[in-house]
Structure 1
Amino acid sequence: MRRLRFITVFLILLFATFLFSQAQIKINIPLPPVLKNIIITPKPTQFNVDIWMNKSEGSTYKFGEKAYFYFKTNKNAYVAIYEIRPTGEMVLLFPNKYESDNYVQANKTYRVPSVGASYYFKVAPPAGKYYIQVIASTKSFPLMTQFKQMSLQFTFPKISDNAQSFIEGKLNIQLQSVEEWSSDMTYFFAGTVAQTGKVTFKTSPSGANIYLDGAYIGKTPKTNVTVDAGTHTITYYLTGYEPYTKTLNVQANKSYVVYASLKTAKATVRFESMPTGASIYVDGSYKGHTPKDVEVSPGIHGYEIKKSGYQTKVGTFSVNAGDYKVITINLTSNKGVVVFESIPSNAKVYVNGSYKGRTPETETLNAGTYSYKITLDGYLPAEGNFTLLPGE
């Protein structure tokens, strides 16, 4: 099990009753949430978090049996663990009023409750399936700070009555701006034995990371994996290819094959210019105005950046599948400045035969070659040619 990134850990116990300092909390009404809308599947990175229980994933706990959770990150991180109940409620399990320090050390296994803690979790009716999720981030973010504050005020505070709404409307949105984060999920059954089916995972090309309900389970191909009956979210990740996600409804005692022909991932190039508002052309095709993200296929491409009054910038770039590249262009004005002076002053100035004023006279002109003539009564005219370069 794994995944990903910053260290905030949230665990969720569903359909269970926990004893905290001799006090029981009972969960009622086993109405399962919409799984695909509560799953958080992180993209593979160098930052991982794993969560597991004192029994193997998908095990059944008897009523009255104690449950423990374990987690570990590979970097120092902030962690939050919450449970998602069958009713759709989310309850914060860690940090809590007994153990409020949720900044953890890398590569150290933590147990919740910790050994010697003054509380424990005890499974109780109703029967059903419980999801436990951990979120970790290397830097705190607003919701992580909020979880910490809640844990100082309440023993095991309720985060939301609607897990789907909270995850889609708040948590996922904030995670998009978190630099480094990861998540993992596990589950168990309380008072009932799960019915199962078999699932084989295949991709072309092979070697893709498999995430089942947000938890890493290995690489493709992986055959005859026992999966409990119900709705599951499967995601394949392979470097250089677009992610693939599928929802699978597994029925008891049936076998399934989830195959995906992975598509080569595109690259993204961000074009920025100073000043902004320049037209972008990639391989001769108009793509919009700066600043703008443009998707391109892997390989070598040509670009042109054009803006009225400025020199056109031309160049090439090379990208690999999945790359994100930024190209910044400082545009050079297509105009120059020429100053006409004479002794004595007050002479008339003509440029390409057009009267411009009297000396001293300053003119802003497009780059190019011009003729000039300067005249003053009682004096011989002065005339000639000049070439004005961009930016002069």
Structure 2
Amino acid sequence: MKQALLTTLGLLAGAALAAPELSPQQIIINPVPTDLQVRVWVNKDPAKTGNPVYQIGERIQVSVQVNQDAHVYIFSVRSTGEVSLILPNPLDQNNFLRAGEIRTYPPSSGARYTLEVTGPEGQDRVLAVASRQPLSLAQIADIQSGRVNLRGADNLARALSIVVSPLPEQDWVSDTAFFIVGRAPVSPTPPVQPATGTLSVGSVPAGAQVLVEGRLVGQTPLSLALRPGRVEVELRLSGHQSFRTSVQIRPGETTSLNANLVPVVQNGLLQVGSNPQGAQVLLNGRPVGYTPLNLSLAPGSYELELRLTGYQPFRTALRVGSGQTLPVNANLQPLRGSLEIYTNTEARIFLDGREAGQSRGGFLRLDELEPSTFQLVALAPGFRAEVREVRVEAGRTLQVRLNLNRIR
């Protein structure tokens, strides 16, 4: 059987019964801005536009949402000054909420307790305190009974200020919600409040900051209850372009927004060197300078070529990534020369005293010779040796004709 856990809910602000100007720090003053935010509301006023009216004996639900992971504590303060602890309570002690999570007390299904409004008539309030670290309420409240060991808004504010004082000022925040018990003194008929809609936001990649109307509300993926109407939404993620759009929130409906975030493209740096230096650099066939050379390039694929007189060309394909520094160092190889030798008889051929081959059929070709001056000797049985000095040049072919004379 469900049991009644708490009586009337109340808050901490002044006695005026007109719709109050709500401030997250109205109860516990914290002048330091923080990106941690908590929002608390009652089921008759999810948009927090005024003072909803609850009749004595009527059941009530309290909802809370945080934009970052936090421990949440909820108090009620009646118009008489009586203070009660709603969360944690003996039947529901899990007060840790994840970023963007909405939790309702008691839950709509499976709850083991109810919250009922009792007299006297007047304005009551609900206070939610969110903290990145758990708070010790031992000197204030008994969780097992839900009783708070003090009365009045001022005393509760002072006690909570002592509890949060050891924490960094950016690590806690509070919010309030108002409602009227009995009848509304200002208006006999409470105004019809617009229903809320849900905004579901996702991104690829996930983890982007979500800003609604310029206010940080959490990170993707995120579900958020909002008042109906058009709102501006912005997603921010490091290394990606910001995404901005406007969406229409409709009462009772879920509006889904999924954004593919575009990475920020940064030029890469290509560092080109050669040994020896001074080689001409061509990129995709276009001359761009001489080594050593640094080039700022858009990400992509390129054909690189180095040219230097007397050396073989150097060619390679490469890919430059966004923001990447890519070094390329080329050891240029000298050009070689060739030697074509023609003899009037088959002969053994020597270059600088080393046998290089035989001129079969009166011809011998020697390739891949380093540019230099050589002593060329041709020997054949029955013929006098033929000696010639030849100079082989890089990238050229030298033709030499040798006429060997017979020995008489």
TM-score range normalised by the length of the shorter chain? 0.3 to 0.5
| Larger-Rg structure | 2
TM-score by length of 2: 0.38
TM-score by length of 1: 0.39
Bigger relative contact order, structure 1 or 2 (CA pairs below 8 A, ≥6 apart): 1
